[in-house]
Amino acid sequence: MSHEEFPTDRPAVVTCGLPYANGDLHVGHLRTYVGGDVYARALETLGQETAFVSGSDMHGTPVAVNADKEGVSPEEFALEWHETYKETFPQFDIEFDNYGHTHDETNTETTKEIVRELAANGHIYEKEIMVAYDPIEDQHLPDRYVEGTCPYCGETARGDECDDGCQRHLEPGEIEDPVSSITGNPAEYHERTHKFFEVSEFADYLTDFLDRLEGTSNAQNQPREWIESGLQDWCITRDLDWGIDYPEDAPDADGDDADDLVLYVWVDAPIEYISSTKQYTDRVGSDTYDWEQPWKDDGEIVHVIGRDIIQHHAIFWPAMLNGAGYVEPRAIMASGFVTLGGKGFSTSRDRAVWADEYLDEGFHPDLLRYYLATNGGFQQDVDFSWDKFRDRVNTELVGTLGNFVYRSLLFAARNYGGAPDATVSDEVDDRIAEAVADFESAINDYSIRKAGNAAIDLAGFGNEYIQRNEPWKLTDDDPEQAQQVIYDCVQLSKALAVLFQPVAPETCDRLWSQLGEDGDVADATVAVAREAPQGEFDEPDELFAKIEAERVEELNEKLDQRVADATDDEADDDDADDTDDTDNDTMSDDTTDADTDAQAADLEALSEERISFEDFQDLDIRVGEIIDAEGVEDADKLAKLQVDIGHEERQLVAGIKQLHDLDSLPGTRVIIVANLEKAELFGVESNGMLLAAGDEADLLTTHGDAPIGTRIQ
């Protein structure tokens, strides 16, 4: 693995957290998969050799429990969901190079190999532990089969995870007052021999690994805290029939117990990333893509996951890879959750927009891809509502990008039968080069939002350019200049097709055909954005259609009605079993009610230390209004702001250059600390501090209209 900028000369593999084969996919689930797909496509647009892989997660107790309820085998149950996912993803143009599942032969073999390797390297040991057991049914109760009280926070928890309380991963035997979740019988603990992976031995390695790790900052910060609070070794076997057997020929498989044990689902799930890459190589041949290069030799491994599974990917997984002699991940991109109208998705209450429902309503997949990819920073939560969806589609896709391309190509086709005879102007060529640079740095920053914005901003420039130059007035007076302007617009349209393709593949494919270009736009690298357009083409069709307000009202009513119906049903059915819902709680970013609580775990801890009221009064905090904003030269992140604070105008320097559109800031009401010591940053004086929340610098403002200069108290 290198830390050179993409594209590198080594193959990359982009993976998506495996969906757990246990229930339907909704719009919230799709965020990670859209994110992974956009990222993998964008790497290819940069010219990076890339494989994009995933698979269904088939094992574990939720599948076993739900299969049992339906009276089918766990394999049959999980395979049915696997087939559903395999059909659903391509409908959203999420195109994996390989999509396998954890129960197939490749993954079973690869998993056993890696466990044997870990055992041979002395990283696995046996320990007697207390496991929950139902004496009436004569049944062991691993993970979800047992419920009780979390020993850390006292909340009701399942055997392997405190998902209503402190969010900790719970080891077997830890849960207090155990009860069988199937029969309700009180459970006993009895002693069993299990296998442990000595994660604690990897603490130093993991500390260094996290320093090297790229991606979103949440994937580094949380694990650092976990390491500091002391790593526990990890029980990697379960008393269960459903799963991959502990390899009998492992160097340490001496006891009889190993025969009855399967591997914990979290051992074989991430190994599917490797297995799926292997299957891709098996299909295309190692000359086209050699799985051993990224995984065994030297490549760029990028994991795209939901943030509820950071611990597994940033602690357990790299320790396993390191212990078995594999390459470590270069980056982990952990997405925030998706909420629906400000609240969590609830699969049990049918409070969700389902993936197939979205398509049945007749919406194009690219609209949702654009929304999910660009509505917030990747690690931030994104709220989905039909109103916001409509707003962004109509404003940015229809109004900005679609409008520019349509008017340009229509004018070109009618007047010149395609691109007129000209060469691109310096102004437009420079602007495209800037968009390409923005796109490249976005991908190197692991920001798919910025990559999408690079195209939308370029389309915004296009609209401004055509408006400013008014080619329709020039066709008679200055035909040469008219040709120049329209040629520039065709060039901009071509660049847009290349740069927006990762976000909206089907739409850009259509645009590519409209432009009369040969080949597949997905194969075009960034360099093609500045190559001369092919020439002849006919009148275009519009790329996007407006969504009417009535349509949104209808959709909102439908959702409200369904939630109301489901809530009534739930009231009638009070004893609804907890295991009945479709929380994809193994390898997914499902946003359920419980997951929404999980967001608290991501927040910085509250300060224990109190300050006096007098200390607070020392702060002179004021309402201000931004008058002017510009970037500080040579500083990537800093902006210089002139802020009116009533008494006077202040100059402040704030780290918001890349996070806000500086041109749109004047007129924005902000909150500043007026009596902070002056500072000089990059030679520019900062006289006060702008208040903002979080990594994306969400600017603080006032709710009402307190006059400029008002003191905050």
- How far is the CA of 405 from the CAs of 248, 408, 413, 544, in angstroms? 62, 5, 12, 11
Residue with tokens 């051992």: 267
Please report how close the Cβ of residue 576 comes to Zn ion at its closest, in angstroms: 23
Nearer to Zn ion, 153 or 601 (CB): 153
Helix axes 27-45, 426-444, angle to 10 degrees: 120
Nearer to Zn ion, 136 or 601 (CB): 601
Tally: H helices and E strands in the chain: 22, 27
Nearer to Zn ion, 19 or 148 (CB): 148
Nearer to Zn ion, 153 or 437 (CB): 153
At residue 10, the 3 state secondary structure works out as coil
Please report how close the Cβ of residue 593 comes to Zn ion at its closest, in angstroms: 16
Please report how close the Cβ of residue 62 comes to Zn ion at its closest, in angstroms: 19
Nearer to Zn ion, 168 or 330 (CB): 168
Nearer to Zn ion, 163 or 252 (CB): 163
**Does residue 515 come out as left (phi exceeding 0), alpha (psi in the -120 to 50 range) or beta?**
alpha
Task: Record the tokens describing residue 682, joined without a space.
Answer: 């990059």
- How far is the CA of 620 from the CAs of 607, 646, 691, 712, in angstroms? 21, 13, 12, 8
Please report how close the Cβ of residue 573 comes to Zn ion at its closest, in angstroms: 27
Residue type, 491: Q
Residue 288 CB partners (closer than 8 Å, separation 6+): 281
Please report how close the Cβ of residue 65 comes to Zn ion at its closest, in angstroms: 21
Nearer to Zn ion, 165 or 341 (CB): 165
Please report how close the Cβ of residue 600 comes to Zn ion at its closest, in angstroms: 12
- How far is the CA of 1 from the CAs of 214, 321, 468, in angstroms? 11, 13, 48
Alpha carbons 140 and 183: distance in angstroms, whole number:
12
Please report how close the Cβ of residue 151 comes to Zn ion at its closest, in angstroms: 8
Residue 696 CB partners (closer than 8 Å, separation 6+): 376, 377, 380, 659
Alpha carbons 183 and 173: distance in angstroms, whole number:
19
Looking at residue 229, the DSSP 8-state letter turns out to be T
Please report how close the Cβ of residue 597 comes to Zn ion at its closest, in angstroms: 11
Are 166 and 194 in contact, with CB atoms under 8 Å apart?
Answer: no
Helix axes 61-70, 74-91, angle to 10 degrees: 110
Please report how close the Cβ of residue 594 comes to Zn ion at its closest, in angstroms: 12
Site residues (vs Zn ion, CB under 5 A): 150, 152-153, 162, 165-166
Strand ranges (E), 97-175: 98-101, 124-134, 139-140, 146-149, 156-158
Nearer to Zn ion, 152 or 205 (CB): 152
Please report how close the Cβ of residue 230 comes to Zn ion at its closest, in angstroms: 17
Nearer to Zn ion, 162 or 409 (CB): 162
Nearer to Zn ion, 169 or 510 (CB): 169
Please report how close the Cβ of residue 309 comes to Zn ion at its closest, in angstroms: 17
Burial of 525 (0-12, 13-18, 19+ CB in 10 A): middle
Please report how close the Cβ of residue 181 comes to Zn ion at its closest, in angstroms: 17
Burial 386-403 (b: 16+ CB within 10 A, else e): beebbebbbebbbbbbbb
Nearer to Zn ion, 150 or 511 (CB): 150
Nearer to Zn ion, 166 or 359 (CB): 166
Q: How many CB atoms lie within 10 A of CB 531?
A: 14
Nearer to Zn ion, 290 or 595 (CB): 595
Nearer to Zn ion, 164 or 198 (CB): 164
Please report how close the Cβ of residue 150 comes to Zn ion at its closest, in angstroms: 3
User: H/E/C letters for each residue in 252-271?
Assistant: CCCCCHHHHCEECHHHHHHH
- How far is the CA of 459 from the CAs of 3, 289, 374, 406, in angstroms? 32, 35, 15, 11
Beta pairing, strands 331-335 & 214-215: parallel
Please report how close the Cβ of residue 155 comes to Zn ion at its closest, in angstroms: 5
Are 27 and 352 in contact, with CB atoms under 8 Å apart?
Answer: yes
Exposure on the CB side of residue 599, measured as CA atoms within 13 A: 17
